[in-house]
Chains A and B, each alone.
Chain A
Amino acid sequence: MTRFFQHVAMMAFIGAAGITLAAQKPDRSAPPRPAAPPALKLPPAQKSALSNGLAVWIIEQHEVPLVQVNLIVRAGSAADPAGTYGVARMTANMLDEGAGGKSALELADAVEFLGAELTTLSTFDYSAIRLSTPVAGLADALPLLRDVIASPAFPAEELERLRKERLTELLQARDDPATIIEIAFPRFVFGEKHRFGTVPGGGAADVKAMTLDDLRAFHRGFYRPENSVLLLVGDVTPAAVLPLLEQTLGRWKPGGPAAKATAPPSAPQLTRRQLYLVDKPGAAQSQIRIGWVGVPRSTPDYPTVQVLNTILGGSFTSRLNTNLRETHGYSYGAFSGFEARISPGAFFAGAGVQTDKTAEALKEFFNEFDSILRPIPADELDKARNYVALGFPAQFETNADLARKLEEQVVHSLPDDYFPSYIRAVVQVSGAGIEKAAQQYIQPERFAVVVVGDRKMIEAGIRALNLGPINVVTIDQLLGPM
């Protein structure tokens, strides 16, 4: 501390003497123009396979002595058995709760001792195990990874522990409007019967019903070398690392029949606008989500949709954020997005807005939905295309980032030259293309409008907007009785 303050005092002294030395003033009449940006150059993935059929993709990155190892399993929550939603998520959570003769605590100790991090997860489309380790610990970490993937023990007491933890999470969800809206919005867009209408972890009834056999069946059916890809990014070479992989993951040879994961059918599209009001007494803000069924990740419109969304609510200067935050001050931030899944996810627009401006904020959302259907000014389109295209390389910064982009490539079967070609496609998105996409994907008269807030403060104002029929929903209806 002392050093810092002495330093400041000294600088002030120099500064006082320095004013007369100031250089001639720069021309501030216009912002400096950036030079042409460099093209995205990605190191190639070196592809091979182990003797058991497990595909291996390696990208060498030698700047830091770390390596990221991700195993992708092509089955996620969308493959949950009907009636027991949450099995994929619980299976992933249970992988490192005991495996290969080690207990949950022994596994955690072994991983941490190496300075490694091991996470297991599932999304709707896939499950994954991500290992980040100092490269010096890789040879010791790979057998642990093999055990977790190939021979999880699924101990009964650990399932009971995680079951209680998840049920407590669902109890705590009732506290938080930001969590409640994440449960309510998909429910009303996709419906209770569609897999996307329930959160990936499942509801309380699902979690209570889940058995060890459910987890074992999911693991046996889907966690298989032929259904997986292993991604390595970091300070490794194929020549050195492939033999290590063969000795560990190459020996992963599950028995029994394979299951086939199929993406859920597209949810029926919404046909007329409806409102859903979830009462949260005392809420200082209302959480708003508006939208309907969007696009699949595979749509040829994907680059166009990304630019469209950037203009609407996908960046700080987007129309929704500018309107709700900068112009009106109703919110700390407004946004929109298209969920990128194999089957169509939701299009959503949303914000947390101060309670006494809920109706006013809703009105502004619909003003922006109407406005986005009209031709986009050329400079606004330029800005959005550049923002997406020039900012895209940032998604490839670290080993973990690169591995995540490879996950996307695997899960959505994207070609090897996809990412550079995506940038080219973004740059070529036209105003006409945006207009067409907006007409197709932004139809405000058919949106579900979901609000979690203090009903007694906001209902009258919302009704006065005459947006459509209002369904009043209780938290118990969403989350089940306590």
Chain B
Amino acid sequence: MKKRFSSVVIALVLVTVHVGAGGQAPEGRTRVSVPYTEFTLANGLHVILHRDPSVPVVAVNVWYHVGSGSEQPGRTGFAHLFEHLMFEGSKNVPEGAFDTWLEGAGASNNGSTSNDRTNYYIDLPSSALELALFLDSDRMGYLLDTMTPARVDGQRDVVKNERRQSYENRPYGQAFLKLIELLYPKGHPYSWPTIGSMEDLSAATRDDVAGFFKTYYAPNNASLVIAGDIDLAETRVLVEKWFAEIPSGPAVPPLAPPAAVLTDTKRHTLADRVQLPRLYLAWHTPAIYQPGDAAMDIAASLLTGGKNSRLYRRLVYDMQIAQDVSAFQQSQALGSVFLIIATARPGQTLEKIQAVIDDELGKLRASSPETREMTRTMNQLEANFYRSMERVSGKADGLNAYYTTTGMPDFFEEDLSRYRSLSADDIRSAINRYLPPDRRVELSIVPEGKQ
């Protein structure tokens, strides 16, 4: 759910890897660390600063701790529609000027909305930092002053076209909308899609915008990370200057829905305008950073990461009955989902593909993965972890994500350790526990007219 169709990143800073004061990493390895300072303004805005002067750029990254999970009945898609409105101007920023001024400074910016949070980022030359702070503080403090029903109408049309482009006009685009319906009971915060329904998007009003802003967009429900070529003391002064005047809002109570569970297998078949059938298997799995979450990431890699992974090798490489297969753990705050997705080759059936998947899952339930595949997976995972930290904007978003969920911005080493500490037996028992054969969703998308 991005504000626009492509996102561009603009920074040149690389990850700091050093032996941290907090202790040695296992096996004498370098400890991964992103040093930071943090403080909280009187209005509750939590601020995290990370200095990396290797190139003259800065990433300004704001998380509001609200996502589509907090939406009210009849207003699905609203958190994301609201995200769009955050770029449309505020009291001291005329409509269109937010992007115009940033482009004139060589900046790129965007935002995204998930079930759990909404983030906004601006990547720009460090010489233009104060412009970003002015813009982000103006929309945090004064968004409603110039908000009109016409602005809501304008972005409503854009978001409806985003829905058409990303779901309705995209092959298999209906699958994810159907999957969440099957996975979650009615009323669960994850039971509706972040993009929302056309009907609910039509219903959203300017009053809804005001209510949502007052409830969720106060500084005490946000965290701000500034990373890059900055002077820490000067930046703190600038943050105080632009953000301190914004009044705090009421505390936001946490969402606490009953855990979603499946007690048996839910099967569903949906027709789409596609040439080939596609199978989706989905399970409820542990929430982000909870025990079992990291094991599911490793399970996904063992199953479909690379030519030698168990499902890719059998379905795509050896038997050649599938065009593609992928598996991933979608980690979320209130409970995660593990997915396996495979597309049949012409003339092949989903039944046959599902039988192979179940056979391979059965093997992993019965015996632990081999040492070489565990090492291969861990090495891949570790290298990818470093690659994700190469951009200063990646570090900024990482600091904010870790802070949001764990309270510790520099959770990089701890995050990596979650994976390193797992044994092959841990993976086997996690697959037994979290990927049972008889409690899951089985969704088939089949070509129209060929049911």
Contacts and interface: CB of A to CB of B under 8 A. Distances in A.
A, B assembled together: yes
A427 B168 CA distance: 42
B146 interface: no
A417 interface: no
B65 interface: yes
Contacts of B65: 4, 8
A382 B105 CA distance: 10
Contacts of A26: 134, 241-242, 245
Among B30, B105, B169, B241, max chain A CB count under 10 A is at: B169
Interface stretch (A63-71, A223-231, A246-254, A438-446): A63-71
A282 B390 CA distance: 43
Cβ-closest 4 pairs across A and B = A390-B106, A18-B42, A329-B157, A15-B248
Given A112-B308, A391-B10, A32 B240 contact: no
A7 B133 CA distance: 24
Interface in A333-357: 333, 335, 352-354
Contact of A177 (B12, B16, B169, B406): B169
B164 A354 contact: yes
Contacts of B127: 34-38
Interface string A389-429: 11111101111100000000000000000000000000000
Given A12-B251, A175-B171, A325 B158 contact: yes
Contacts of B106: 37, 386-387, 389-392
Interface in B152-202: 153-158, 160-162, 164-166, 168-171
B276 A25 contact: no
B411 to A, nearest CB: 11
B99 interface: yes
A393 B55 contact: yes
Contact of B100 (A112, A383, A391): A383
Contacts of A8: 65, 220-221, 251-252, 254
A370 interface: no
Given A12-B44, A109-B307, 7 more contacts: A8-B221, A34-B105, A35-B127, A112-B376, A164-B345, A333-B5, A394-B10
Contacts of A332: 4-5, 158, 161-162, 164-166
B15 A11 contact: no
Interface string A1-44: 10111011101111111110111011011011111111000000
B326 interface: no
Interface of A: 1, 3-5, 7-9, 11-19, 21-23, 25-26, 28-29, 31-38, 61, 63-66, 104-105, 108-109, 112-117, 132-134, 161, 164-165, 168-169, 171-172, 174-178, 282-285, 315-317, 322, 325-333, 335, 352-354, 382-384, 386-387, 389-394, 396-400
A130 B99 CA distance: 35
A19 B161 contact: no
27 contacts: A1-B333, A7-B407, A15-B219, A18-B41, A31-B93, A32-B131, A38-B127, A63-B16, A65-B30, A66-B386, A104-B317, A113-B376, A113-B379, A114-B379, A115-B383, A171-B346, A176-B171, A284-B168, A317-B96, A322-B96, A327-B154, A386-B104, A387-B106, A390-B107, A392-B106, A398-B391, A399-B390
A134 B386 CA distance: 9
Nearest to A287: B169
B125 interface: yes
A115 B44 contact: no
A168 B323 contact: yes
Contacts of A178: 169-170
B91 interface: yes
A33 B254 CA distance: 40
B57 interface: yes
B125 A390 contact: yes
Nearest to A109: B308
Interface string B401-428: 0001111000000000000000000000
Contacts of B108: 391, 394
A391 B345 contact: no
B323 A165 contact: yes
B168 A1 contact: no
Contact of A387 (B97, B103, B387): B103
B273 interface: yes
B313 A105 contact: yes
B276 A172 contact: yes
A64 B312 CA distance: 31
A172 B275 contact: yes
B216 to A, nearest CB: 11
Interface string B292-316: 0000000000000111100001000
B62 interface: no
Contact of B134 (A23, A32, A354): A32
Contacts of A12: 44, 220, 248-251
Given A18-B41, A332-B158, A316 B103 contact: yes
A161 B405 CA distance: 44
Interface string B111-141: 0000000000001011110110111001000
Contacts of A174: 275
A44 to B, nearest CB: 16
B269 interface: no
Contact of B54 (A63, A105, A329): A63
B171 A285 contact: no
A69 to B, nearest CB: 14
Given A7-B407, A322-B96, A25 B101 contact: no
B46 interface: yes
Given A12-B248, A19-B42, A19-B247, A104 B164 contact: no
A285 B14 contact: no
A31 B308 contact: no
A164 B14 contact: no
Given A17-B42, A354-B160, A317 B100 contact: yes
Given A322-B96, A398-B14, A317 B248 contact: no
A325 B166 CA distance: 15
B391 to A, nearest CB: 6
A116 B383 contact: yes
B341 interface: no
B148 interface: no
Nearest to B323: A168
A152 B406 CA distance: 48
B208 interface: no
A22 B242 CA distance: 11
B203 interface: no
Nearest to B135: A31
Contacts of A18: 41-44, 248
A390 B165 contact: no
B8 interface: yes
A329 B155 CA distance: 7
B320 interface: yes
Given A317-B96, A386-B104, A65 B157 contact: no
A132 B384 CA distance: 10
A109 B93 CA distance: 54
B24 interface: no
B125 A37 contact: yes
B124 to A, nearest CB: 8
B92 interface: yes
B372 interface: yes
A109 to B, nearest CB: 5
B432 interface: no
A31 B252 CA distance: 31
Contact of B169 (A4, A25, A114, A283): A283
B274 interface: yes
B368 interface: no
Nearest to A322: B96
A32 B130 contact: yes
Contacts of A396: 12
